[in-house]
Every structure is written in structure tokens, then in C-alpha cells.
Amino acid sequence: MCPARQAWGLQARQRLCFTATMTGSFEAAAQVAAKWGSPADDTMIHVHVQRAGQRADQRAQARVDRVLAPATRPQVVAEAGRRVGREPFSLVIEMDGWMVRERGS
């Protein structure tokens, strides 16, 4: 058991993947992992990141397929309707200000 992994809610190999994303390279992730007593080489971390990415892609595609399939679309809409208003969310709107006219300072 690793308290940091438990606090982050990560599975055993997800901690290495998370560290790779935060450090920016597999080599740096291996150095950080060695500091907390989990020696791992950059190749092993790369393999775990690739596998985690493939699983994430498969899950994302399964969600898209579920939304697009006429048989399951009503279920998806109903589930989304039940969650509306219950879970806090952030809305990010990006706008191109090319035609914006500004006045004053």
C-alpha cells in the first residue's frame, strides 16, 4: 500500500503513468519513482503509459459508440438527465476576439 497512490486514487501502475505525465519524460519519471523506493526504468514506464493510453482510447470509443447507437442513445440521455444539477461542473468558453472593438484603457 502506498499512501500517496491511495490519496490520489490511483491503481498500482497508474502512479507511474501519472508521474510520467507530470514530469514530462519517461526518464524523469524513472528518477522520481526511484526516489520513493519504486525503481523502474524508462522503458517499463513507457510500456505502462502506452497500455493505459490504449485502454483510455478503447473506453472513450465505447462511450462514443454507446451515444451514437440508436438502441442505447435513450439510456445515455436519461443518465445524463439524472446527473444534471447534481454534480458540480465547469464550463469553459473560448472565443476569438478578432472582431472585438475595445474602448478606453
Residues 48 and 16 sit within 8 Å (Cβ to Cβ) = yes
pLDDT greater than 60 at residue 21: yes
Alpha helices (runs of H) in 13-41, residue ranges in sequence order: 14-23, 26-35
- Percentage of residues in the chain with pLDDT exceeding 70? 82
Tell me, what's the pLDDT at 39? 80
pLDDT higher than 60, residue 53: yes
CA–chain centroid gap for 51, Å, is 14
pLDDT band at 69 (very low <50, low <70, confident <90, very high): very high
- pTM to 2 decimal places: 0.59
Look up residue 100 and give its three cell numbers.
472585438
Buried b (16+ CB within 10 A) or exposed e, 72-84: eeeeeeeeeeeee
Amino acid 5: pLDDT: 62
Q: How many residues does the chain have?
A: 105
